[in-house]
Amino acid sequence: MDRRPPTDYRGRVPETPASDLVRSLLLTVPDFPQPGILFRDLTPVLADGAGLHAVVDDLVAAGGPVDAVAGVEARGFLLAAAAAYASGVGTLAVRKAGKLPGEVLRETYALEYGEAAIELHPGQLAPGSRVLLLDDVLATGGTLEAAARLLERAGYEVAGIGVVLELADLGGRARLAGHEVHAILSL
């Protein structure tokens, strides 16, 4: 029997076994990639079998019924593939610009200095399909906001946005106000 507290994408979840594992495995690296930055490294969470299992179970449980899971390049791919497999659905890859052949939909978004773009192949699912959008970290929200727009332009419904770690001070959740957002751990 699953004894985790009920979770959904309407706000932060209470502490759960997944958040406890993420907290215990998360590495904090000072001054990376530049002085003054406190980098939160999730690779130990993904490398740990119990950590990955707990993270995927939490994201799937909070996501509800969906038709597919989309992941944002690069670590979002790992989460989306595992969550899609656990849910018995397919996965969509939201790629950096120029990585997909053929017809693509493209969304640009602002960076601190300049802009970037992400792409998605259209027509992979039936219109109106419910898609759970996953990435590893929610910081400013720019990438996930662009990914959600991309999925909506493709004719899909964004069923929710899930991340392993939310850096709450950076305001990304507010930027995604039109969507239900679930973070396993918020710092």
Q: Are 19 and 182 in contact (CB under 8 A)?
A: no
Alpha carbons within 13 angstroms on the beta-carbon side of residue 128 total 0
Burial annotation 58-87 (CB, 10 A radius, 16+ → b, else e): bbbbbbeebbbbbbbbebbbbbbbbbbeeb
Tell me whether residue 75 is one of the annotated catalytic residues. Answer: yes
Active-site pick, 3, 12, 95, 112: 112
Tell me whether residue 112 is one of the annotated catalytic residues. Answer: yes
Active-site pick, 40, 75, 95, 173: 75
Question: What token pair was written down for 29?
Answer: 């690296």
* Rounded Cα gap, residues 184 and 166, in angstroms: 8
Which residues are identified as catalytic?
75, 112
